[in-house]
Structure formats: C-alpha cells, structure tokens
Amino acid sequence: MVTFPLKKNLLCANLLAIILLLVCSKSLYSYDFQLGLKGLVGATGLSLVEEGDYEMQLGYGLGVSLAYTIEDYFSVELDLFILQKGARTFQGNTISINYLSIPLLLKADPFNLGAFLSVGAQINLLIQGTLDDRFSNSITITDAIEPMSYDLILGIGYQKDILMLELRYEYGLSDILINQSYFGNVIEKNNTLYVLMGVMFTL
C-alpha cells in the first residue's frame, strides 16, 4: 500500500471533484461537452540520460475522458487512466509500473474535419511497481519509485461521430526513481507510445 502526502491526495481528490461537478451539473449539459470511455495499448519503456540496457514492452490502460469544445477548432480534454508502464532489460527482467494518470490536453482540429492534433501534460500517481526476473521471481519495487511523475504528451488522431482513434506519445519530464539500489546510479524517465481507441458521447 502506497501512502501519498496529504497535498498529493488533495490534488487527486480535487481533480476528481471537478469531473463530477461538470458531469452532474444540469447547467453544463450542452453540446459543448463530451464524456467518453477509452482503452489504450502500445509500447512502453524507460529512457536513460546515460546509455542504458532497456527495451520496450507491451503497455495498456483503460480510462474515462471529459472534453469541452471551446470553438469549432479547439477543445480541452481531461482524462483519468489506469496505466501500466515499464520496460524489459536485455537480461530478461521485466519492470512493471502501474499508475493513476491524469492528462490535461489541448486539441486542435484546424480544418474541422475530425482529424486533430493534441498537446498537453500528464501527472502520474504511483499505484505499484514490480520487477519480475527471468526465473519467475517477483520483487515489489514500489518504495524505489517516485510517487508522482510528469509527462509531456503529443498526439494525432481522428474522431467520427462517437468513435475516436489516437496515436499518443508520452515523454517523461521527471526522474521516476527515489531509491537507486535496484537500478544503479542512473536517471530514468517514462517513455511510451500508445494507440487509443474509444467512444465519446455528447452530453
């Protein structure tokens, strides 16, 4: 069980409260809002400032989205995902890190044709980290990983009616390690490429 400092708990609680208020308030029910469900799968890894020995592995996630259209060409989107990130070493060890991730995105559809570009930032709140070696031994490494990390997000996608598809790249902005004893004295950041598929319903 991971215990977050009070400020981090309050941050997560406030973000969730904002989503609930937007969805439940009758005065905000209009064509400007969309609520959706998304699933994602892709390649996830760890990038090092020094040359490292990691390779990409399969990552996946599931979450909800709330989007608000500012104008015909621009919208703001707030997502809430359960994500699995990590990497595989060339020695056969697998690092799996589970996060509660909260991306905030600005999306642009410059030609109003459904094709969009997205840019934003993401907060990752640690749930659990494990290391599985090639002999099927599993070690909990949650205490070695920062409870909060940050990513820059770039994406491109297409939405037609309620269906959407997006290719999203997440570049880690912060070191994810608190305890270097499992990994050596290195700086490691999340590095992921996901394909997202989902449905978005107009409220």
Q: Which domain holds residue 70?
A: 6-202
pLDDT at 115: 96
Give 50-78 pLDDT, tens digit per residue. Answer: 555 677 888 999 999 999 988 778 899 99
* 174 falls within a domain: yes
pLDDT of residue 136: 81
Closest residue by Cα to residue 149 from 169, 181, 178: 178
Considering the domain boundaries, does residue 163 fall inside one? yes
Number of domains within the chain: 1
Residue 193 covered by a domain: yes
Q: What CATH number does residue 117 fall under?
A: 2.40.160.20
**Tokens at 190, concatenated:** 């999340």
Q: What is the pLDDT of residue 118?
A: 96
DSSP bridge partners of 54: 89
The answer to whether position 182 is within a domain reads yes
- Whether the pTM exceeds 0.85: the reply is no
Q: State yes or no: pLDDT of 181 exceeds 70.
A: no
For residue 31, what pLDDT is reported?
53
CA angle 191-99-104, nearest 5°? 75
Q: Is the pLDDT of residue 182 over 60?
A: no
1 in a structural domain: no
Phi-psi region of 20 (alpha: psi -120 to 50; beta: other; left: phi over 0): alpha
